[in-house]
Amino acid sequence: MADRVYLDWNATAPLRLQARAAVSAALDVVGNPSSVHAEGRSARRLIEEARESVAALVGAEPRNVVFTSGGTEANMLALVPASARDRLLVSAIEHPSVLAGGRFPAAAVERLPVDADGGIALDALERRLAALGGRALVSLMLANNETGVVQPVSQAARLVHAAGSLLHVDAVQGCGRIPFDINTLEPDLVTISGHKIGAPKGVGALVRRDASVPFPAPLISGGGQERGVRAGTENVAAIAGLGVAAAAARASLAADGAHMTALRDRLEAELRAATPEVIIFGAGAERLPNTTLFAVPGMKAETAVIAFDLEGIAVSSGAACSSGKVQPSHVLAAMGVSPSLARAAVRISLGPTTTESDLERFNQAWIRVSGALLKRSEGIAA
């Protein structure tokens, strides 16, 4: 529907026009990128151009980029035990694909606490690293997909490396939305996903900082594609779309960030004005410029999401991969939020093409939705 307002960019971003054109053009390239003839070389050229663009987005060298089917596969590829590192430390707010531990046995995975704003407790990380004596692989997201809270990656990297351990960063939500340089923040491995930055769904990458960091053992074995790290004929069209989307995100990063920050701040100010009892999670911490997770006591998030949908507005009750489940958010639980308040949490996530008119539509709908739902909850309570 043309008149709908899309405010769920953290679930997936609309396909960029440049990426759509790149995908369409790549579909007409016949060759297998592993073939040495002209057609194969044409397909290979598209992949290597995309590799250069993805590398530039994170400040890496192209040879350190391996393409995958998305963020979950890249996380699975990264999270593998080795003889010297047999424990996995993760923050309690990670994506389910990281909380599951990748290829680590469940008994080898430890969750670390976060503070009330959702930032990892660095003191707890330091203590566990000291106790493990270099046996750990640590996985920490760049920015949380529900609250938008940006994690202290640089400080964590210093602690991890001082202990002789390795750091993996799931940068799926933050990369392309905030500045990220692999050589400045110093993670050893980084996960990105295409569909969060306007590339097609079903493509992502695992990036290593430099050649001193070995690529993990393959998750998918077979042919020698992707330097032997990820077998299978490459998805040339999706990879081409990812390359173009990465270049576009990098080129407009500062402007898009300023635009979304201004809209987010306006959104939150108007939420507070219309509903003084609103709680905005992570408001005291550094956050992504596009993300607001809020709750009003007594309101049910799933009912609010349906009501907004009927108003022609797409929002979320949390992470898209788990919002259909009835239990409260594990992120908010880790932050110490009560289950009843967590069940009221609604996520608004903006994008570069979100407009002031979109927010005006949301604000008008919020007045109607919140009025009806809060009146209903008061009636039930009475």
Q: Which residue has the tokens 């390359």?
A: 243
State how far the Cα of 176 lies from the Cα of 174, in Å rounded to an integer: 6
DSSP character at residue 217: P
Q: Which residue has the tokens 């507070």?
A: 272
Task: List the structure tokens of 178.
Answer: 């905030």
Q: Which of 321, 325, 364, 368 is catalytic?
A: 321
Select from 64, 100, 97, 88 the least CA-distant residue to 167: 88
Select from 9, 20, 2, 3 the least CA-distant residue to 199: 20
Q: Catalytic: 321? A: yes
Phi, psi of 191 (to 5 degrees): -105, 135
Residue 10 and residue 349 in contact, taking contact as beta carbons nearer than 8 Å: yes
Task: List the structure tokens of 42.
Answer: 């044409």
State how far the Cα of 145 lies from the Cα of 349, in Å rounded to an integer: 9
Task: List the structure tokens of 105.
Answer: 């046995």
State how far the Cα of 372 lies from the Cα of 378, in Å rounded to an integer: 10
- Burial, 133: exposed, middle or buried (Cβ in 10 Å; 0-12, 13-18, 19+)? exposed
Catalytic residue list: 321
